[in-house]
Amino acid sequence: MFHNSSQRKYWIFKSEDEVAHMRRKANQKFRNKIQESGKSAVSDSMFLERHEEDVLFRHYERRLLDFCNAFKPAMPKSVVGTALMYFRRFYLNNSVMEHHPRTIMLTCAYLSCKVDEFNVSSTQFGGNLLHETPAGQERVLEQILEYELLLIQQLNFHLVVHNPYRPMEGLLIDLKTRYPTLENPESLRKSADDFLTQAAMTDAGLLFPPSQIALAAILNSALRASLSMESYLTECLGLKEDKDSISKMYDSMRRMKTLLKKYELPKADEVNIYKPRLERIHAQFASSSNKRKRGYEDDSHVAKEPRLVEEFFLNLLNLCFVPGMDG
């Protein structure tokens, strides 16, 4: 359950500032690493700034969402939620400059299928990479397998993610059973669902417990439909005397709403500026970070020549390069 999960202990942070600070640290760490290794022709302007990284992050996040939604067979919502959470957690402690988001995003989806027991064989998974030739799919799969261990390590082996979808169902059941004042809770379901999908694209999952997110979704949709649900909190959840908790909960919901409002879709032209820079960084520092990509010690039977990887990468990126294919 959530209350004794690793998510509550290690992956719920106190404020948006803390989260931003962690991302800044990851960015800085990468810069220091490259500068210490003393590569020639390194200038500060080459590196991506925080807001530029953010744009790219959101762009690839959206692509992950589209990939999961277009997945055959249909991916359950919890698997999508888990994949997005993995993606988000990974880039809390690592910079996009260090590990390219495209492979990481596919690895997140692959790992999430495994963890959430949505059984997809690797060939089936590869079959979903529609804009690749079968040979290309094979290579992408190999890449995914190489990155898998790294991803798990960076998640600190905390693989169980609690998503807000089941709490939302639970709240709806509770509303129907114990709160007759509200006539038709089912009407709230659709907009609550949308709220949750939007919330998955924000940092809400890193700041609030999933049950609170679900409650915020339901209250929000009730507000939209101009239905009052004040008494639910006081009566059914037993918070009549606890004014403090009620005010805190309203506060959290307000914060969540702000987060959702702040989210903006990545603009295509911005993405087109930052992406080439990202590719250049990867191309330049790929050889140094090649060993890191392995995620484990040099295994002679898994070894791939670095050149092959670079080439492959450039091919991939050329495909992504084509304007209009970006989501």
Partner 1 sequence: MDDQGCPRCKTTKYRNPSLKLMVNVCGHTLCENCVEMLFVRGSGNCVQCDTPLRKSNFRVQLFEDPTVDKEVEIRKKVLKIYNKRDFDFSSLREYNDYLEQVEDIGRGTDWGRPPETEVYNLTNNLDVENTKLKMEQYQREHRDLIQKNKATLTREQEELEELLLLEQQGNEQRRLDVLQDEQRQLQAKRKNKQALLDELEQSQLPATILLAQHKVRAAQLETQIEQQKQTVKPTNLFSTGIHMRQTVSLVAVPKVEDVLFHYKPLHVETYGPPVPELEQLSRVGYLNHVRAAMPQDTAGGYTSALACHRAIQDAFSGLFPLKG
User: By the criterion CB under 8 A, which residues form the site for partner 1?
Assistant: 1-4, 8, 162, 166-174, 176-178, 209-212, 214-215, 236-239, 244-245, 248-249, 252
3-state SS of the chain: helix, strand, coil percent to 5?
70, 0, 30
In which element (H, E) is residue 285 found? helix 268-294
- Residue 244 CB, nearest distance to partner 1 (Å)? 8
Query: 322: closest CA among 66, 131, 56?
Result: 131
Query: Nearer Cβ to partner 1, position 227 or 236?
Result: 236
Nearer to partner 1 (CB atom), residue 23 or residue 89: 89
| Closer by beta carbon to partner 1, 83 or else 207 | 207
How many angstroms separate the Cα of 189 from the Cα of each of 16, 18, 163, 218, 222? 28, 32, 16, 8, 10
Nearer to partner 1, 238 or 323 (CB): 238
Q: How far is the CB of 157 from partner 1 (least distance, A)?
A: 22
66 contacts 327 by C-beta, under 8 angstroms: yes
Q: Would you call 33 helix, strand, or coil by DSSP?
A: helix
Least separation in angstroms between residue 251's CB and partner 1 is: 8
Q: What is the smallest separation between the CB atom of 245 and partner 1, expressed in angstroms?
A: 5
If the CB atoms of residues 212 and 220 are measured against partner 1, the closer one turns out to be: 212
Q: Which structure tokens are listed for 164?
A: 């807000």
Residue 129 per-residue DSSP state: -
| CB of residue 76 to partner 1, shortest distance in Å | 15
